[in-house]
């Protein structure tokens, strides 16, 4: 931080990263090289040593809208002005892709940017493209002697075997399989349901994930309530209202899967921290999930953080965190230790989720959308299923 300031970047701006060192990224800026803190960048590809090298073409992909109604903007950011809209089921050729936003021709002769996480992407041609980003993602083997195969089927040849804890870079996702980079420079495929994922790639579950949550007891704790508003977003969103919305959506999904679900509050009432923990103990919960949204003075900070207090709670936090990041494409701020009452005093497997920053204007808009709420609830559900499957 002792170096002089040479300029500033806007949210959503795309830059070329040449190198990384001690938490800082070297970028191309105004025709020169400059350094910016890595915590404010999301790397969307391999580091470049040649800023003139053209990016891989993306117009070979077609995207189908998955949201009921999706705004098209004049730039690849929620700060962009709305220039049009598209509807669920419509398909468009993807002309460009930056920072998880896609450029499409939404009307004849008119182009704009839309949130890429609301598109299902397919490659134009016989091969399927991954529907979600796998940048900087890896898989870790859960068992010794895991088969790495030539193709996306158990009927294809085994070309490599890996052991528990071995980690490999993810190159793509095809069907329910990950294509991974092998030590000899080739690639192979591993079944998605026998590995754990680190990074933005989706965690694949076998169909029927609900069987792992059936008859389990889960206590969902919507943070704050009543006289305790929690934080308030720059656009006026009250944390207590949003946590309850997320909790109720998750409650419905778990109940439908046969889970025994308890909400520490189901309306706008104040509940003490001690009472929230007591509910977890009284019901002998298999998992306790406290739902929150974050805030900080720096309005540029964004992303999701998951907290645990002890080693018993860490696996639950890691599974839920990985799944939610994969579903929402939020900036990954990691799974870490946190000294919070509802997890510190909790004898059960318990975690506290911070599901985005209300202090960031763009992220506040995002987390309020029905599509985001649906993605978060699905992510927590699938993370729970994977945790119960392995524990």
DSSP state of 82: E
Span 334-340, average pLDDT? 97
Query: Strand 304-308's sheet: what is its strand order?
Result: 260-263, 217-222, 287-294, 350-357, 304-308, 332-337
**Cα–Cα distance measured from residue 376 to residue 130, given in angstroms and rounded to the nearest whole number:** 20
Of the pLDDT bands very low, low, confident and very high (cuts 50, 70, 90), residue 326 is confident
What does the longest C-alpha to C-alpha distance in the chain come to? 63
Reply yes or no on whether the pLDDT at 349 is more than 60. yes
Span 304-311, average pLDDT? 97
Higher pLDDT, 275 or 125: 275
Reply yes or no on whether the pLDDT at 345 is more than 90. yes
Reply yes or no on whether the pLDDT at 58 is more than 60. no
Reply yes or no on whether the pLDDT at 241 is more than 50. yes
Reply yes or no on whether the pLDDT at 121 is more than 80. no
DSSP state of 116: G
pLDDT digits (tens, 9 = 90+) for 125-158: 543 344 455 778 889 887 778 889 998 877 788 8
**Cα–Cα distance measured from residue 70 to residue 78, given in angstroms and rounded to the nearest whole number:** 12
Higher pLDDT, 72 or 58: 72
pLDDT digits (tens, 9 = 90+) for 355-364: 999 999 999 9
pTM (2 d.p.): 0.53
DSSP 242-301: HHHHHHHHHHHHHHHTT-EEEES-SSS----HHHHHHHHHHTT-SEEEEEEEE--S-TT-
Looking at 131-140, 187-196, 232-241, 319-328, which range is the least confident one? 131-140
Share of the chain above pLDDT 70, in %: 83
């Amino acid at each position: 931080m002792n170096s002089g300031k040479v300029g500033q970047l806007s949210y959503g701006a795309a830059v070329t990263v040449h190198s990384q060192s001690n938490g800082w990224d070297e970028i191309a800026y105004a025709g020169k090289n400059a350094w910016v803190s890595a915590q404010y960048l999301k790397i969307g590809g391999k580091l470049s040593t040649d800023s003139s090298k053209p990016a891989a073409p993306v117009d070979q992909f077609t995207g189908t809208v998955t949201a009921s109604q999706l705004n098209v903007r004049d730039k690849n950011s929620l700060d962009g002005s709305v220039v049009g809209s598209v509807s669920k089921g419509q398909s468009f050729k993807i002309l460009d892709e930056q920072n998880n936003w896609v450029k499409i021709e939404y009307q004849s002769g008119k182009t704009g940017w839309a949130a890429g996480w609301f598109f299902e992407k397919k490659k134009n041609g016989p091969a399927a493209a991954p529907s979600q980003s796998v940048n900087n993602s890896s898989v870790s083997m859960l068992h010794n002697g895991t088969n790495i195969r030539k193709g996306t089927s158990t009927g294809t040849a085994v070309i490599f075997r890996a052991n528990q804890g071995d980690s490999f870079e993810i190159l793509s996702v095809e069907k329910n399989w990950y294509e991974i980079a092998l030590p000899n420079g080739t690639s192979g495929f591993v079944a998605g349901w026998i590995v754990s994922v680190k990074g933005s790639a989706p965690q694949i579950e076998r169909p029927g994930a609900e069987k792992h949550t059936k008859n389990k007891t889960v206590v969902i704790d919507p943070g704050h309530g009543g006289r305790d508003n929690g934080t308030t977003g720059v656009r006026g969103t009250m944390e207590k209202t949003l946590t309850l919305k997320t909790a109720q959506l998750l409650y419905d999904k778990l109940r439908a899967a046969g889970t025994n679900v308890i909400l520490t509050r189901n309306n706008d009432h104040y509940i003490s921290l001690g009472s929230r923990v007591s509910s977890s103990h009284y019901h002998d919960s298999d998992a306790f999930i406290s739902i929150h949204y974050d805030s900080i003075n720096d309005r540029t900070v964004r992303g999701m953080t998951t907290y645990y207090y002890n080693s018993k709670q860490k696996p639950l936090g890691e599974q839920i965190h990985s799944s939610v990041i994969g579903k929402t494409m939020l900036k990954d701020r990691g799974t870490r230790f946190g000294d919070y009452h509802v997890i510190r005093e909790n004898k059960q497997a318990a975690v506290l989720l911070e599901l985005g920053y209300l202090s960031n204007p763009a992220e506040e808009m995002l987390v309020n959308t029905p599509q985001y709420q649906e993605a978060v609830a699905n992510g927590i559900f699938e993370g729970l299923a994977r945790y119960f499957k392995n524990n």
